């Protein structure tokens, strides 16, 4: 119920004295559209209007303020029969009583000086509840009717004759301005606008100094549009938006300097969107985010003394939640962090003042996870890879002082994966490596600064495999051959200080295979060897620095075989004969210091075979021997340097046989007779010191046979047998 209606209900009974007056008007007064004025018995105008053929066309009623007495006490005293003199005077001289039948408690109506009607409610105990004693003081209100309906301007006054309210009706409905004034100053303090009895338009209020206090927009009795509040100085205090009576849109609140300090956002009376509050002392801005009236997150923005945003915090249920952003004094982003329910979550990025990311972190449920990196001095970048707070690996992109990248790396989930390229300070490629799941894989190549390959490695499943090599600055090349991390062999192409290759090698799958050639420092061939699947094979030749062959070896599938020989510097030749790594024999062509051959030998397949001739240093023959398949054979003859026979031996198939003769210098001759290695007999031709034969003997097949003649030292026969 609006205020005007309440006022009228409280004062409406004032029409009863008017009705009494109207009832007393003679019939002849009801002409066509005649004006009339109603007065009470004290001749105060209490109404005015127009009557048409006895019907009141329009009328305005006036009422007056009551005396200011304790009416309840007066009523009690009246019932109790103890009214004061003043109270008796009021009741006797200024009161009229009208009684109305009612289904409820009886109600007695009193008119005091004809200006106000109020009631006593009878309750059977005291006979009343309340009594109001009217007054003939100042005018209280002025109401206007047209054909029984409220119409036009209605005015109410305070008891000091100051206008209290001015409002308007059209066809019984409030229409247009509705103004309320201050009792002391008469200043308008409220003005509302109505259309068809509903608030429509701007509701305004003023402070007593006529400073605007508020402006609220209404539509069909509901707040609608922008509502503004002002402080006592007229500065905007808040600005709120409504839609059909519901909070809708942005609500702005300002400080004394009309700086925006608080913002709320609503949608259909529900909190929605980003709210914030500025702390002008700390310069912090506190934010709250809502969705459909539900709190989502709270965060804070901190500011530098220059009012530049320093950091923006976000909270939910007093826990860090959402994005936290830090800023430099110049406004550039310093860092971005994320939280969920108090836990670090997602990407954390830290920026340089130029806007470049210098540190990157990743979290999952408050635990460090995945790849992190931090940029160091220059262009260096340091990496860490985490698996739920467990450090998996650390690595880095490092640079030389001139900014050149030292190594371009490739990681996946903290593991080396892909190509790694190293560089020299001048930018030339230093090496190229590959990894799969943190394991070395494939061919690794290393380069000189001039771009030449100087090393190579091969990996398979993280294991060293196949041939590796490394070339030194002097040209030496060192090799290793691996079989899945098992070292098969090591070898090298080495060089003399003058750069001449020491040995040209040939390997296949880590095994010696093919021709190996050694060289002297002067470039002459030193040896030629051959291998097959890491085994010596075929003929090996060795040479002197002058290019002459001085040694020969023969291998069959890694085994020494057939005749080997080696010549030394004095011309001696040493032989070995091998049968598939089994040494058959060793022999030599030796020489005296003067170079004369000591013995001319004859071997066949490591076995002595043929004639063997020995020589004295003078070159004269010392002996002649014969062998067949390493066995002594035939007559062997030994000769003194003067050409005389020294000894004769006879062999047959390696066995001593027949007569052996030894010739002494004194002429003695010793005999042995052998029968296939069995000694049959021994005998001798002996001589006296003077050379005279002692006994002339006769043997046949080792047996005495024939005449034996003995001699004295003087040559005379001693005996004949």
pLDDT in tens, 340-390: 999 999 999 999 999 999 999 999 999 999 999 998 888 888 999 999 999
Cα–Cα distance measured from residue 558 to residue 529, given in angstroms and rounded to the nearest whole number:
12
Residues forming a β-bridge with 346: 363
Q: How far apart are CA 21 and CA 12, in angstroms?
A: 16
Of the residues 150, 181, 212, the one at which a domain ends: 181
**Residue tagged 């929605």 (tokens):** 272
Closest C-alpha among 654, 648, 601, 656 to residue 630: 654
**d(C-alpha 296, C-alpha 288), whole Å:** 7
pLDDT (mean) for 126-155 = 67
How far are the Cα atoms of 112, 253, 254, 306, 323 from residue 263, in angstroms, in the given order? 57, 6, 9, 22, 20
**H or E element: which one contains 226?**
strand 225-230
Residue 144 pairs with which residues in a beta bridge? 60
350 closest CA partner among 369, 326, 367: 326
Confidence of residue 678 (pLDDT cuts 50, 70, 90): very high
607-636 mean pLDDT:
93
Whether residue 176 lies inside any domain: the answer is yes
Of the spans 405-419, 525-539, 562-576, 697-711, which averages the highest pLDDT? 525-539
Reading the block at residue 132, the tokens are: 């109001």
Q: Which pairs from 507-516 meet CB under 8 Å and 24+ separation?
A: 507/467, 507/479, 507/481, 508/533, 509/466, 509/467, 509/481, 510/466, 510/467, 510/480, 510/481, 510/482, 510/483, 510/534, 511/481
* Angle between helical axes of 71-80 and 85-94 (0-180°, round to 10): 90
| CA-closest candidate to residue 7, choices 61, 70, 87, 82 | 61
pLDDT reading at 495 higher than 60:
yes
Give the Cα separation of 432 and 230 in Å (integer): 75
Q: What whole-number distance in Å separates Cα of residue 312 and Cα of residue 331?
A: 12
C-alpha separations of 99 from 73, 80, 96, 243, 463 in Å: 21, 20, 10, 51, 121
**How many distinct structural domains can be found in the chain?**
2
Nearest to 633 by CA among 614, 615, 616, 658: 658
**Domain contains 90:** no
Answer yes or no: are the C-beta atoms of 270 and 264 closer than 8 Å: no
Average pLDDT along the chain: 84
Q: How far is CA 709 from the centre of its chain?
A: 123
Of 2-11, 223-232, 305-314, least confident by mean pLDDT is 2-11
Q: Are 357 and 344 in contact, with CB atoms under 8 Å apart?
A: no
pLDDT at 30 > cutoff 60: no
Q: How sure is the predictor about 215, in pLDDT bands with cuts at 50, 70 and 90?
A: very high
Phi, psi of 78, deg, nearest 5: -65, -45
Does the pLDDT value for residue 616 go beyond 90?
Answer: yes
Max CA pair span of the chain: 234
* Spatial contact of 674 and 657, defined as CB atoms under 8 Å apart: yes
Token pair of 290 as six digits: 């809502």
Domain membership of residue 643 (yes or no) is yes
pLDDT in tens, 385-410: 999 999 998 988 889 999 899 999 88
Closest alpha carbon to 131 in 186, 209, 67? 67
**Position 38 in a domain:** yes
Report CA 475 to chain centroid distance, whole Å.
Answer: 45
Nearest to 676 by CA among 694, 706, 644, 654: 654
Q: pTM for this structure?
A: 0.47
What three-state secondary structure class fits 480? strand
* CA–CA gap between residue 345 and residue 115 (Å, rounded): 79
What's the mean pLDDT in 133-142?
60
Side-chain-side CA neighbours of 304 within 13 Å: the count stands at 11
Question: What's the mean pLDDT in 477-486?
Answer: 92
Res 81: pLDDT:
72
The per-residue pLDDT for 41 is 53
User: What is the model's pLDDT at position 103?
Assistant: 36
Instruction: Annotate 678-687 with b (16+ C-beta within 10 A) or e (fewer).
Output: eeeeebbbeb
Range of lowest pLDDT (248-252, 348-352, 588-592): 588-592
626 Ramachandran zone, left/alpha/beta (phi>0; psi -120 to 50): beta
| Within-domain flag for 59 | yes
90, burial (CB in 10 Å: exposed 0-12, middle 13-18, buried 19+): buried
Could you tell me which residue, 424 or 118, shows the higher pLDDT?
424
Task: Please give the C-alpha separations between residue 373 and each of 295, 325, 347, 357, 360, in angstroms, as whole numbers.
Answer: 35, 19, 12, 10, 5
Domain that holds residue 691: 633-720
The whole-number pLDDT of residue 137 equals 46
From CA 591, how far away is CA 227, in angstroms rounded? 133
CA-based Rg of the chain, rounded to a whole angstrom? 71
Locate tokens 């503004």: which residue?
Answer: 228
Please classify residue 644 by burial: count the beta carbons closer than 10 Å to its beta carbon, then call 0-12 exposed, 13-18 middle and 19+ buried.
Answer: exposed
Average pLDDT of span 193-207: 95
Residue 632: CB atoms within 10 A of its CB come to 20
Token pair listed for 694: 């002692």
Q: Which CATH number fits the domain that encloses residue 691?
A: 2.20.110
Residue that wins the pLDDT comparison between 66 and 170:
170
Give kind and range of the element (H or E) at residue 21: helix 15-23
Lowest mean pLDDT among 156-165, 477-486, 697-706: 697-706
**CB of 180 closer than 8 Å to CB of 194:** no
CA-wise closest residue to 321 among 297, 300, 346: 297
**How many other C-beta atoms can be found within 10 angstroms of the C-beta atom of residue 143?**
25
Query: Among 52, 288, 16, 276, which residue's Cα sits nearest to residue 147?
Result: 52
Share of residues in the chain with pLDDT > 70 (%): 85
Two structure tokens written together for 280:
């002008």
Mean pLDDT of 42-66: 76
- Whether residue 347 lies inside any domain: the answer is no
Measured CA to CA, the distance from residue 532 to residue 560 in angstroms comes to 14
Q: Within a 13 Å sphere around the CA of 95, how many CA atoms are in the beta-carbon half?
A: 20
16 in Cβ contact with 109 (< 8 Å) = yes
Phi-psi region of 75 (alpha: psi -120 to 50; beta: other; left: phi over 0): alpha
Q: Cβ contacts of residue 303 below 8 Å, gap of 6+?
A: 282, 283, 284, 285, 309, 310
pLDDT tens string 634-645: 999 999 999 999
Name the strand (E) or helix (H) holding 437.
Answer: none
CB atoms within 10 A of CB 498: 9
Task: Classify residue 247: in a domain, yes or no.
Answer: no
Q: In 10 A of CB 249, how many CB atoms? A: 19
Q: Does 474 map to a domain?
A: no
**What pLDDT is stored for residue 518 in this prediction?**
94
Q: Which two tokens stand for residue 377?
A: 């001095």
For the chain, give the number of residues.
721
Residue 11 — pLDDT band, cuts 50, 70, 90? very low
Phi, psi of 462 (to 5 degrees): 85, 0
Report the distance separating Cα 680 and Cα 699, nearest Å.
11
Banded pLDDT at 20 (limits 50, 70, 90): very low
User: Which of 350, 356, 325 lies closest to 338, judged by CA?
Assistant: 325
């Amino acid at each position: 119920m609006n205020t005007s209606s309440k006022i009228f209900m409280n004062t409406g009974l004032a029409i009863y004295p008017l009705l009494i007056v109207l009832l007393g008007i003679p019939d002849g007064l009801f002409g066509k559209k005649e004006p009339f004025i109603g007065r009470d018995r004290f001749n105060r105008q209490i109404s005015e209007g127009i009557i048409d053929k006895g019907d009141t066309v329009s009328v305005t009623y006036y009422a007056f303020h009551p005396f200011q007495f304790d009416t309840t006490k007066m009523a009690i005293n009246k019932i109790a029969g103890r009214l004061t003199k003043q109270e008796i005077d009021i009741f006797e001289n200024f009161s009229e009583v009208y009684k109305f039948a009612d289904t409820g408690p009886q109600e007695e109506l009193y008119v005091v000086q004809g200006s106000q009607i109020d009631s006593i409610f009878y309750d059977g105990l005291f006979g009343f509840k309340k009594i109001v004693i009217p007054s003939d003081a100042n005018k209280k209100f002025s109401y206007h009717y047209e054909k029984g309906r409220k119409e036009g301007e209605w005015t109410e006054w305070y008891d000091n004759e100051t206008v209290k309210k001015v409002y308007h009706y059209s066809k019984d409905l409030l229409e247009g301005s509705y103004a309320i004034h201050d009792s002391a100053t008469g200043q308008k303090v409220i003005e509302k606008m109505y259309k068809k009895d509903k608030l429509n338009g701007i509701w305004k209020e003023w402070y007593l100094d006529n400073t605007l206090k508020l402006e609220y927009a209404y539509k069909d009795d509901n707040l609608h549009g922008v509502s503004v509040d002002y402080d006592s100085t007229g500065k905007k205090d808040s600005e709120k938006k409504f839609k059909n009576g519901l909070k809708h849109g942005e609500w702005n609140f300002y400080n004394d300097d009309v700086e925006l300090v608080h913002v709320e956002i609503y949608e259909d009376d529900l909190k929605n969107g980003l709210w914030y509050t500025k702390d002008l002392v700390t310069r912090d801005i506190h934010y709250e985010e809502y969705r459909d009236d539900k709190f989502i997150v709270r965060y804070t923005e901190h500011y530098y003394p220059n009012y530049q945003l320093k950091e923006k915090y976000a909270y939910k249920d007093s826990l860090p939640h959402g994005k936290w952003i830090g800023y430099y004094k110049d406004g550039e982003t310093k860092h971005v962090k994320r939280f969920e329910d108090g836990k670090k979550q997602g990407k954390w990025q830290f920026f340089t003042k130029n806007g470049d990311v210098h540190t990157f972190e990743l979290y999952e449920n408050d635990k460090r996870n995945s790849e992190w990196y931090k940029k160091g001095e220059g262009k260096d970048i340091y990496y860490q890879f985490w698996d739920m707070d467990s450090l998996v690996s650390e690595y880095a992109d490092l640079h030389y002082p001139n900014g050149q990248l030292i190594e371009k790396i490739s990681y996946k989930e903290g593991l080396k994966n892909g190509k790694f390229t190293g560089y020299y300070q001048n930018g030339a490629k230093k090496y190229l490596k590959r990894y799969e799941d943190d394991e070395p894989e494939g061919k690794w190549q290393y380069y000189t600064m001039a771009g030449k390959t100087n090393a190579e490695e091969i990996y398979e499943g993280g294991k060293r495999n196949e041939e590796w090599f490394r070339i030194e600055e002097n040209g030496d090349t060192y090799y290793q051959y691996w079989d899945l991390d098992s070292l098969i062999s090591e070898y090298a192409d080495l060089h003399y200080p003058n750069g001449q290759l020491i040995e040209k090698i040939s390997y296949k799958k880590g095994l010696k295979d093919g021709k190996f050639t050694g060289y002297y420092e002067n470039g002459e061939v030193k040896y030629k060897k051959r291998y097959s699947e890491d085994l010596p094979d075929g003929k090996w030749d060795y040479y002197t620095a002058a290019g002459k062959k001085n040694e020969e070896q023969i291998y069959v599938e890694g085994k020494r075989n057939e005749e080997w020989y080696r010549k030394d510097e004095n011309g001696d030749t040493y032989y070995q004969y091998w049968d598939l790594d089994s040494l058959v024999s060793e022999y030599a062509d030796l020489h005296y210091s003067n170079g004369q051959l000591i013995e001319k030998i004859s071997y066949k397949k490591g076995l002595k075979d043929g004639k063997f001739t020995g020589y004295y240093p003078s070159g004269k023959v010392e002996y002649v021997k014969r062998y067949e398949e390493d066995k002594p054979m035939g007559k062997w003859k030994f000769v003194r340097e003067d050409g005389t026979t020294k000894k004769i031996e006879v062999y047959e198939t390696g066995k001593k046989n027949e007569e052996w003769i030894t010739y002494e210098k004194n002429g003695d001759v010793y005999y042995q007779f052998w029968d296939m290695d069995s000694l049959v007999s021994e005998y001798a031709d002996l001589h006296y010191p003077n050379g005279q034969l002692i006994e002339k003997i006769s043997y046949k097949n080792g047996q005495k046979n024939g005449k034996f003649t003995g001699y004295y030292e003087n040559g005379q026969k001693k005996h004949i047998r």
